[in-house]
């Protein structure tokens, strides 16, 4: 493998598949990991999927990615809309950053329309369900090729 992509997931996404399936679907983070690993094979990229309900843990993993990852795919979940700290951490990372939202945040409550992370992201995918992660993986692969 020529590199590793960190796929970081924020609060409540551990419940993906069980949580509000009418919004987020019935697939799980394990499904996300296997679909991204499949795309990664095409680009010689490994995936390392992580999830935390804690802002500081996500920031620590972004710092770790500075040493260990060629790119970051991040669904910051609710922290998208609140966290300057996660934005600041991503601004220390030099590789490609793709932001993914399973739901279309622009079709939902107005407080979800703004994401701090989007000002750092090289691309943003929203509303494509968990397929958005595989699409992001493909784009990161293309950017790194
Ligand atoms: C989400 C959208 C956020 O507004 C929400 O807080 C989430 C998930 C998404 O993937 O659609 O937890 O990031």
**Which pTM was predicted?**
0.97
**Greatest extent of the chain over all pairs of C-alpha atoms, in Å:** 41
CATH number of 41's domain: 3.40.50.9100
Positions annotated as catalytic residues are: 24, 101
Total count of residues recorded for the chain: 145
Nearest CA to ligand 1 atom 9: 101
Mean pLDDT for 20-35 is 97
Cα separations (Å) of 88 from 30, 41, 79, 103? 28, 31, 13, 24
Tell me what percent of the residues of the chain surpass a pLDDT of 70.
Answer: 99
The DSSP bridge partners found for residue 73 are 7, 98
Task: Show the domain range for 80.
Answer: 4-144
Instruction: Classify the phi-psi angles of 18: left when phi > 0, otherwise alpha if psi is within -120 to 50, otherwise beta.
Output: alpha
Query: pLDDT of 121-144, one tens digit each?
Result: 999 999 999 999 999 999 999 999
Mean pLDDT for 93-112 is 98
- Domain total of the chain: 1
Backbone angles phi, psi at 138, to 5 degrees: -60, -40
End-to-end Cα spacing for the chain: 13
CA atoms within 13 Å, Cβ hemisphere of 110: 0
CA of 13 from ligand 1 middle (Å) equals: 8
Instruction: Identify the band that residue 2 occupies on the pLDDT scale cut at 50, 70 and 90.
Output: confident
Q: Which among 42, 52, 25 has a CA at the least distance from the CA of 128?
A: 25
Residues with CB under 6 A from ligand 1: 12, 75, 77-78, 80, 101-103, 105, 112
Mean pLDDT for 34-55 is 98
Residue pair 86/110 in contact (Cβ under 8 Å)? The answer is no
Instruction: Identify the band that residue 85 occupies on the pLDDT scale cut at 50, 70 and 90.
Output: very high
Backbone angles phi, psi at 49, to 5 degrees: -95, 130
């Amino acid at each position: 493998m020529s590199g590793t992509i960190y796929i970081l997931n924020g609060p409540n996404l551990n419940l993906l598949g069980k949580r509000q399936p009418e919004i987020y679907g019935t697939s799980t983070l394990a499904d996300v990991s296997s679909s991204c690993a499949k795309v990664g094979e095409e680009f010689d990229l490994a995936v390392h999927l992580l999830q935390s309900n804690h802002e500081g843990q996500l920031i620590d993993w972004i710092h770790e990615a500075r040493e260990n990852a060629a790119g970051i795919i991040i669904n910051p979940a609710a922290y998208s809309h609140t966290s300057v700290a996660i934005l600041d951490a991503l601004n220390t990372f030099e590789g490609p950053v793709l932001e993914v939202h399973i739901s279309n945040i622009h079709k939902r409550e107005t407080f979800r329309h703004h994401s701090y992370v989007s000002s750092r992201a090289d691309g943003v995918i929203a509303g494509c369900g968990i397929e958005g992660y595989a699409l992001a993986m493909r784009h990161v692969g293309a950017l790194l090729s």
